[in-house]
Amino acid sequence: MPKFTGHYVIDLDASAKLHVGCFTERFEMKPGYEKAMQKYIRTHGEVAKKITLALDRENLRLKTADEEEVFPVKSLVEDGDKPQLIVLAGGRFSMTYDLRELGPDLVQFSNRKYDLHNWAWRRSGDV
């Protein structure tokens, strides 16, 4: 089975942990912050739950109920020490993501400059 290609949906609980980690790595947060963030993400995640991502060797596709964005894949390295995805955005510039396995069938498209970084994506099927 391919390591990273497939269909994905946002995992709200795992995404809340990513959001929490972003702050707790740099700041001392008050007790209860993690539970509050998880509750917030779960209760305000209606839009995020409707977003899907599909990755194959040709394209990265992000879909919402209203639209679809397609980013051509320039490079996809699924094996080795540094799995990485490079896509072309707007036909003009490259966006590079380190592919981080967060758990079984759970991945982060890691790059602090771009929005995909903030979410944990759970595999929902193969392409």
Burial of 113 (0-12, 13-18, 19+ CB in 10 A): exposed
Burial of 30 (0-12, 13-18, 19+ CB in 10 A): exposed
- Which residues of the chain are modeled with pLDDT < 50? 1
pTM of the model: 0.83
pLDDT at 101: 92
- What are the structural domain ranges in the chain? 6-125
Q: What is the pLDDT of residues 47-73, one digit of tens each?
A: 888 899 999 999 999 999 899 999 999
pLDDT at 79: 86
pLDDT at 1: 46
